[in-house]
Structures are given as C-alpha cells and as structure tokens.
Structure 1
Amino acid sequence: PLADQLPDVLDYASGLKHRLESDADALREENKPAWLAHTIYTRVHEKIRREPVEDFRIDFEDGYGNRPDAEEDGHAESAAVEVARGMQAGTLPPFIGIRIKPFSEELRARSIRTLDIFVTTVLENAGRKLPENFVVTLPKITTPEQVAALADIFDFLEKQSGLTSGSLKMEMMIETTQSIINDEGRINLPLLLRAARGRCTAAHFGTYDYTASCSITAAHQHMMHPACDFAKHMMQVSFAGTGIWLSDGATNIMPVGPHRAQDGASLTPNQIDENRAVVHRAWKLHYDHIQHSLVGAFYQGWDLHPAQLPTRYAAVYAFFLDGLDAASARLRNFVEKAAKATLVGDVFDDAATGQGLLNYFLRAINCGALTEEEALRLSGLTHDELVSGSFVKILKNRQDL
C-alpha cells in the first residue's frame, strides 16, 4: 500500500532512508508512505532473521506423490530421525507435523503405515517423546468415519508406545464438497469435528482440491474464487467458538525465475529481466491472495516455497499497519466515551465494531505487526484490558469506576 507515493529519485530516497533509520516515528505524520514501507521492511527482516518458519509439515501426500512402499517406508523413517535430531538440537519450528495420505480405500493402508513408522521412529530416537505441538494432518476428508478412524489409530498408537492418552492431535483438511455438506444435505463440518473426539486442533482449507471437486477449470482454480469464499465462510460459521484454528490454502505460482546459469556462464540482461518479472508477478499474486484471506478473517495460510516467506509477512504486516491510525483513533475514542456509540469522521461505532477493533489489535500483536507497547500506547487501553479480549468487559469495568 502507498508504494506508488514513494520517491523515485535516488538522492532523495537515500536521505529519507537515513532519516527513517535514525527516527522513523518522527516521519510518520510527515511521510506515511515512507514510514509504512520502512516499518514493514524492518519488521519482515527481523521476523525472517529470528523465526522464518512458524509451522512446518512433512508432506507424504500430494507434495510427495505415490511411490513404492519400500521408498516411502525409508523416507518416513529418515524424516522421523531428522525430527528427533531437531528436537535434541532445539532447532525445530514451534509447530511441526506430518501430512499423511487420505483415508480412501486405495490409500488408507499406506497412510496408516507411514504414520506408524514416523511416530514410532521419533519416539525411539527422542527418548520416547514427540515434538511439542506435533500434529497429523488428514487430507481429502469426505466422511466423519475417516476422522473417527484416525482418532482410533491415535488411541492404539498411544497405548502401544506408552504415550499419554490424548497426546496425539490432528488437523482436518477441508477440501472436498462432501466435507462441507453431506449426502443427506446436512452440514458435515460439525460432524467431522465431533468425530475427532477432542483431538482436532485446526482445520485447513485446500484450495485446489476443493475447486476441482466443484468442477472448476484449471485456469480459474485460485484462492479468490467465490466457491472458496463460500467454503471458508462455512468453516467459520461451523467452527465458531470451538477454539480450533482456521487456515487458508496456498498460492501455487512460485516466485522462481525460468532461467538458470549453465556451466559457469552468466545470465544475459534479458534473462535477468525475465527472471525478475516472473518473481515479481508471483510475489504480487501471493500478496493479493494473502490480503484476500485477511479481509475474510483467515489469519493463517500455507506457503510452498521459501521465497514466499517475505511476501507472506509483508502482506500480513501491511494489512495491520496500513489501517493502524484509523483503528487507533476509533478504538481510543470509543473506549474514552465508555459504551456510547460514537462517530469518528463518517464511521459510526457501536459495541460490535468495538470488539472488531479490539480483535484488530490482538491479531496485530499476535502476528508481530505491532508490539504490545505500541498497541497500548495507540489504543489507550491498559495491559489487563487488552489481554482480556472482551470489549464488553472493558466497557463494564470502565463504567464501574
């Protein structure tokens, strides 16, 4: 946002950069486009330096394909050994897991075998422990019975390996029409969650399988298709108040240039330009997809390539930082008037939008776009008010003073 207002004169841009590095806040009112670009850049840079990957799945499904049993057995074992090494070295991301194959008639035996090998091998090599926040992702779900079957397998694995009952958790991939509405016309999503028997922590939308199941042609299979918005809103309504996380799908156009230098030769200027154009187009598409997800209140999504991480964080931070001044003024004004509906500019706010504004700050802190100190200063809230998460409570407590 506001990138078209940034200077294109090198000397002026260099001077602006120096001022931003010495005191960015001083330029916030004077030159918001420069402040916004600088703030996003520095926070993305810090995020990638400190924690580039928050959540990681070792994929034995579509990203892996169908291979001979002996080969998949070996890969399941070697992946588990590496995870155990990561546990010992303290180098794993905060969340990690595996995506197994679907529980279809053709693939369920292979899927269960891979899960068994992986879990057993990790336990053997990591002192009978699994990584913290370890999950198993079940794809292409069509019936609650498939979810229940995975819960049954978890019961068996826990008993056999000595794991605490309930320690194995699952994620459901919502990527078939049957997972939304079943053959009786009932909404299937609550039934899937019930079948997990308390083991489900998240539901992930699968863009490309879902659009394919809707008979959408390849050229129109993308994250902003109206069919995807329908399915994701069904997820939001069905899983509201359950505490499970929701995640959007991935952009499948990679920011990878078509040209590679061969045998020590350099790329031509035209090839360099073509590579840059391809990468920039893919980044812009990825950015737009993430912004669309955020507008629809899907605050998590999956990436398929390391070069997508900069645009992931840039899109998320831009989403929150671009509207920060307006949101701050609205929330501060409303809280100060303690429950009276207010008008800031031409925007009318009542308690419902007050909760939305509070959610905005909580999400911004959670993703790293804002620090808690910044949120407190800009919103006018206290620490206890902010972490309460309830706008109604904040108003009640202020009215009682």
Structure 2
Amino acid sequence: MRKRPRLSLSEGEILRALGGLEAALTDHHDRYPGVPESRQPVHTVAGGAHLFRRDTAAKLGRIARGYLDRYAGGPAALADALGGAWSPGLAEVVHQRLRGKLEREPVESFLIDFEDGFGTRADEDEDAAAVAAAEETAAGVVAGSLPPALGIRLKPLSDITGGRALRTLDLFLTALVASDGSLPEGFSVLLPKIVRPEQVEVLARTLDRLEQGLGLARDAVAIDLMIETPQSLIGPDGRIVASDLVDAAGGRCRTVHLGAYDLTGSASVAAEEQTLDHPLLETARQILKLSLAQTDVQLSDGATNVLPVEPHRGRTALSAFERDENRSVVRHAWRQHYFDVRRSLSQGYYQSWDLHPAQLVSRYAAVFSFFLEGLDAAAWRLERFVAGAGQAILTGSVFDDEASGQGLLNFFLRGLASGALTPEEAARSGLSSKELETRSFREILERRGA
C-alpha cells in the first residue's frame, strides 16, 4: 500500500490561495483571448478618396493581371521574376492560384484615403469627395463589388486638421446611411499620426455619437490605429504605449498598422535609408508584436515603397530597349516586395500594405509560396502531435508542445483564409474542417478526450 504523502497546507488553504488569483486571471483571459476569430486580410490597399469607385477592386485586379501577363506569363517566368527557388510543381501551383485570386478576389482590404492619398484640398472639395465616396460605397454594397474589408483613413486629429477629419467622418457616415442604410461588413476608420491616447478617445466618443444619431449598432465601426510617430510607440516616461492606445479605443480597435516611413522619418533617418528592413523598424515590429500578442488586435506591417511602375508606359509602340527596361524595373520592384512580404510573414506579420496594383502579383505569390513551402512539414508535425493526444513529442529534431500545436493550427487557418491552401491540403493536418473552425488547439484536444 502506497504511503500517503504529507502536506503542510490543507486543501482549503490551497483553494483560498488560488481564490486570490481569480480576478487577476479573469482579467488576463479577457485581455488576451488568443487568435482573433475574424479573418485577417493579407494586405491593405490604399487609394485616394477622390478616385474611389464601387468597382475599384475589380479594376485593380485587371491591372494586376495585365502586369502578370506581360512580365510573368507562365510559372517559370513568375519564379524567375521573383527570384523564388521553387520547384516546377510549386511554381505551377503558385501561378495558377495567383491568377485565380486576381480574378476572383484581387483585393482583400481597401482603404479610402483622405490623408496622404488625397492631400490638402479646399474644404468644399473634401466635402464633395466624402459624400461621393460614401455613395459609391453604398452602391458597392448593393452590387456586391466591394472587397471583404473596407475602411477610410482620416486626417490626423491634430490642432490643425482635427476638425476637418471629424467633419469628413460625419459626412461619409451620414451620406452612407442615407444612401443605403447599412455599413459594409468589417468597416473601419484608420487614425494616423497619433501622439496621445486622448486622440483615440475623441474618435471613439465621436463614433458613439454618430452611431447613436444614425441608428447604427453600437461599435458598428471599428477603429484601426497607425503607429507612425515615436510617441505612439514609446511614451514620455519610457513606457510602451501601444496597449494604452488600444484601450483608448474602448473595445473598437481591430488592427494596428506600422507606418514605416513616417516613423523612420520622424526619427531623423535619411530618406534613402528608409526601408522596411531598417533596424528601427525591426525594433518597432517586435515591440508591437510582444505588447499586443494574444490580444484580439491584428497587426499589419508597412509598405514597400519601391514600386513596379513601368518607366515607359502609356504608349503602344515601344522599342526593344524600352520593353527591356520596363521588364527590368517591374521585376526588380517585384523582388523587393516579395522579399519584404516573406520577411513580414516570417516575423508573424500576416498583413502589410500595397501601394500599386502590380504589387498584387508579388503579394499573393509571396503569401501562397510561404504557406505551400511550409505545408508538408507543418502537416506532418501537427498530425503526429494530435495523434499523440497533445503530449509533448519529438518530431524529427523539433520538439513540439501545446504552444507549438496552436502555432501549427494557426498556420493552417491563415493559409486557408488567404486562399494559399485548399481544404484538401489543410486536411493533411489530421484535423477535420469542424476542428479547424474551433481555432483552438486546446479545445480540439479536449473534444478528442485528450
């Protein structure tokens, strides 16, 4: 008979000690719920509000397909254009899915821009643009031609442009409701140039008033934040303030974007050195990642500012030299963008910005190849781990535990959402579609009785 171990604390004392943690752990679980349930777009495409039309997404897709046909018409040409070390089979799949994506859903998230992409204009011009963009949005809702996510970027809530920004917000939402009566699903407002949490609070309170006055559901409009000033990253007392800005949004914050070039510029980095791999931006990315990890806030990286713009365009007759120069410039920009997107993905940033329709080619090629290249290893590891009832296991030379199990599950969820992976490929993980929908590795194990 096994001897009963001796304890110094009674069961009641242990329970009372743990009871003191209940409120703290509840607060922790509320603040850090884990993987967001909503789909995260792989990019944000921004365009000036004066140019926005209900069919803008389809138009961008047509332009991107034109670039694909001219400079990467086949699988081998695409691999060569991007510098991807792909097998012929992988190149074939990436090229096929890329073309299909550009035809079916070329844009996942579009931002109607009243800031950099719109510029400083007369008040009556911005008034008219706000109403016109809202009416086009309403028409797009009816036609079903809008991308899955849509938003607007305001001017900063500064002492100079704050009034203009809130007026534009009011005009847009009022005209949208008057035209259609409903918001597009996933609608958001992006706030730039933040230096104080109070600016976010003002936007949140204004949205409260507008939603109530226009008969919209509470919190119908999300707030996205642009981290592009040093003060929106590090406070005057040296604290990291990203979570303070998120809290100031009052539960509305959905995405935090890194504004790479304003941030490096405000830190006195020379213009020619302002690239996405600058050490200052590497630091900013990791600060944001660690401070907002496991919250329901999504993170988005910055944009590649080397654009695939043909130097000789707008003419039908080009010399051989001009055609070669066009090809060289576009492919160089594609490679830079492809590299930047792949680096963002490797650092856990599954969304970043695109500034030109031709970047949709390198965007989806980077996303699709990232998930397809990792498919075999991820499927093998996850299938073995689940089969082992979630116990820590050595798969080859990789040690997997519950945390890595969730990471592997996230890989398949994001691959499916982006269109990089098919349901049949995701099934190689050993998980059913219903199990994938739980989005929780622990819940999957519990349901299996592990």
- Taking structure 2 as the reference length, what is the TM-score of the superposition? 0.78
Q: Residue deviations 1:58-108, cap 9 Å, x none?
A: 101111111121221121121112112112222111111110001111111
Map of 1:26 onto structure 2 = none
Amino acid at match of 1:123: V
Identity %: 50
Map of 2:37 onto structure 1 = none
- Residue 228, structure 1, aligned to residue 278, structure 2: no
Amino acid at match of 2:193: K
In 1, Cα distance between the equivalents of 2:120 and 2:445? 57
Map of 2:117 onto structure 1 = 63
Distance 1:395 1:222, change over 3 A: same
Map of 1:124 onto structure 2 = 178
In 1, Cα distance between the equivalents of 2:191 and 2:330? 32
Map of 2:259 onto structure 1 = 206
Q: Residue deviations 1:300-330, cap 9 Å, x none?
A: 1121111111111110010111121122222
Map of 2:430 onto structure 1 = 380
Q: Identify which of 298, 317, 336 aligns with 2:387.
A: 336
- Residue 115, structure 1, aligned to residue 169, structure 2: yes
Q: Identify which of 263, 269, 274 aligns with 2:320.
A: 269
- CA-CA distance at 1:351 after TM superposition: 3.0
Q: Identify which of 348, 355, 361 aligns with 2:406.
A: 355
Q: Identify which of 47, 66, 91 aligns with 2:101.
A: 47
Q: Identify which of 437, 440, 443 aligns with 1:390.
A: 440
- Residue 38, structure 1, aligned to residue 124, structure 2: no
- CA-CA distance at 1:397 after TM superposition: 4.8
Amino acid at match of 2:169: L
Map of 2:229 onto structure 1 = 176
- CA-CA distance at 1:385 after TM superposition: 3.2
- CA-CA distance at 1:399 after TM superposition: 5.7
In 2, Cα distance between the equivalents of 1:225 and 1:281? 19
- CA-CA distance at 1:271 after TM superposition: 0.5
Instruction: Pick which of 71-80 and 145-154 moved more.
Output: 71-80
Map of 1:215 onto structure 2 = 268
- CA-CA distance at 1:243 after TM superposition: 0.8
Distance 1:176 1:261, change over 3 A: closer
- Cα RMSD between the aligned structures? 2.0
In 2, Cα distance between the equivalents of 1:164 and 1:347? 48
Secondary structure of the residue aligned to 1:302 is strand
- CA-CA distance at 1:259 after TM superposition: 1.0
In 2, Cα distance between the equivalents of 1:330 and 1:164? 43
The structure with higher relative contact order (CA 8 Å, sep 6+) is 2
Segments of structure 2 that go 5 or more residues without pairing to the other structure are 1-74, 77-85
Q: Identify which of 284, 298, 303 aligns with 1:245.
A: 298
Secondary structure of the residue aligned to 1:306 is coil
- CA-CA distance at 1:149 after TM superposition: 0.6
Q: Residue deviations 1:97-150, cap 9 Å, x none?
A: 110001111111111111111111111211x32222211110111110000010
Secondary structure of the residue aligned to 2:87 is helix
Secondary structure of the residue aligned to 1:183 is coil
Segments of structure 1 that go 5 or more residues without pairing to the other structure are 1-15, 18-31
Map of 1:25 onto structure 2 = none
Map of 2:417 onto structure 1 = 366
In 2, Cα distance between the equivalents of 1:84 and 1:91? 10
Q: Residue deviations 1:173-211, cap 9 Å, x none?
A: 111111111112222111111111112111111111111
- Taking structure 1 as the reference length, what is the TM-score of the superposition? 0.87
In 1, Cα distance between the equivalents of 2:426 and 2:404? 17
Contact 1:261–1:267, Cα closer than 8 Å, also in 2: no
